[in-house]
A and B are shown apart, each in its own frame.
Chain A
Amino acid sequence: MSREFGELILDLQNVSLAFGGVKALTDISFDVREHEIRAIIGPNGAGKSSMLNVINGVYRPQQGEIILRGQHFTRMNPYKAACAGISRTFQNIALFKGMSVIDNLMTGRNLKIRSNLLQQAFWWGPARREELAHRARVEEVIDFLEIQHIRKTPVGRLPYGLQKRVDLGRALAMEPSILLLDEPMAGMNVEEKQDMCRFILDVNDQFGTTIVLIEHDMGVVMDISDRVVVLDYGRKIGDGVPDAVRTNPEVISAYLGASH
């Protein structure tokens, strides 16, 4: 696969993150270009999720900088990241369990809602029309992900594979420019994985969304990503197009040595 990439949209420079004595990330630099699918791989505990968490500010690195569209951040936080167009899914699905699929997706529209609390409370006409407009956008996401049949179901009752899909839906409802996906296909069967791959490629293609993806399934990663970064024990040991990474001796030994 060879495609044209856009500008540098996200750039991490010399990021280090530790939890007490545990070094989750050590001096990591990596960049993401507009419109690409950028994969992060590595054995368990390599620091992949930590990396996503640093990007959207869930974790604050002790060192390093995040440069987002030319703007420098030493302290990112999840709210700021969301405002800047970064949305994400979580490894251990963090949906709002008690709420229906539609409501979960509607929360993704929160930043786009203009009416204020009073206007909503009094069921003011324009506030209501705005709500309907957002609802229409959410229905589009529902159609896109082919989850029409479960739109009213409380997400806590859905099987794991569908929850993963709703999680993606909530992130998409934000209309992000950068989408961070933490193992979107973990625990899925082959068919579900194929669907998920298709959705990811379609999002990237149709909406031009830049995607940062953590995935364990090598077949999938090599198939759909444009560039791959490899972590091991919090260090970067490889970075490049899939073919280059596949033949990188350090990467091969990390994977052969790791129990997974």
Chain B
Amino acid sequence: MITVMRMMVRGRSPRERARARLMSAGAALATFLLCTAANLLSFRIDAPHDRLWVFTEHEPRLLAALTLTLLVVPATVFTYQASRLATATRERRLAALRLAGATPYETRLVGAYEVGRQALLGGLLGGVAHLAVNVALWRSLDGVVPLLSPMWTLVVLAAVVLIGVGSGLAAGRHVVASPLGLVRRARPRGPRAVDLLLVGLGVALFAAGFIGKGRFPVGGPYGAALSVTVGAVLLLFGLVLAATWLIGAVARRAGRTAAAPETLLAARIVQADPRAWARALTVVGLTVFFGSAVGAQQGDILFSPWLTTSKVVAYLLIDLALLLALVTSAAALAVHQAEALLDHRRSFAVLAASGVPASALGRVLTRQALIAASPVCLVAAVAGAGIIILTTADAPGWSPGTFTFAAVRAAVTAGIGVLAAVLVARVSRRTLRGALRPEELRAG
């Protein structure tokens, strides 16, 4: 079995190699962030320190660790998207294994081995980077090197590898390779009761962590932080589910009423796999949500008498951070589009050969992005601005001006989200031209 696994890894195509590298990079980033977060929490400098106060005082330390942990989310989404690259070629190879007599479980193991290997490589890389940065940073600060204990580093590394192997095993579930070497993608299932239960649990954990901050029953502040983090991850899962449902519904509608063939194609392609779009767009949606919420708050303050320069600067910085988050999620989107294109290159090449202009197929890509991104960004913007307006509308200082500002900010933020998705689609039109070459027709 191991020999077969090694053979499969050696026979990878350039595209699969790129996929492997991207996955390792994502795993490395996640490991780095997690190690640094754990490090922040685990070491102590007991004496008060004038330059290291951020790390010796409790609250800022907790906050910094939490931020780092939350940054793992985009890194994970990115890694997951990367893992889905080149699925078509990989599935064909796995199907060939089935043809050679491997059991379904064994082919899944091979898939898991490939992902696990990349997670291990990336994890090691991230661990080493964490070490190097820490040593350099702490040396320059004080000459103390409060390294993360080896035990914790191993725990983080093991977690990263385990998650990799687990997702590799899970990914195999969607591919049904018959013993005759035919590959069929199982139809994605709708949400089940278990999923909703998990989301409910997420809400509970999140709320418990927040409300019980000071007097959390287990682990004190660490327990509360852990509860909030786990709750946030489960909530994110819930958001993906909701986005999946929303995107699927919009695509179904668009497909039913479409008059243009480009729209029909785009809608059906989105409808067939709304979950992939939801995954890629959830981070975009969150960015739009926070962008609109912050915008509504900015309106509240801009039109109030207590406006100060430092507040303006603070808000500008927040906007900048949001923009950065949007760029990260756009990268995940780009990976998703590339994957979707690879899946369609043969049928698209045949369409091009029978006289469908490449520009029309390019429009299919942008319309997919529009169909999927518009509802997510719209809902996120309305929710973000709405929450702030509803909770602060009766406060003094609210005026029609404030309201208009919040509404315009929400519209602009949603627009930027949709624009990012459409821009990514436009960029992948170049890849499309490559996919339409007549060579794609030659397999026959």
Query: Do A and B bind?
Result: no
The interface of chain B, by Cβ under 8 A from chain A, is: none
The interface of chain A, by Cβ under 8 A from chain B, is: none
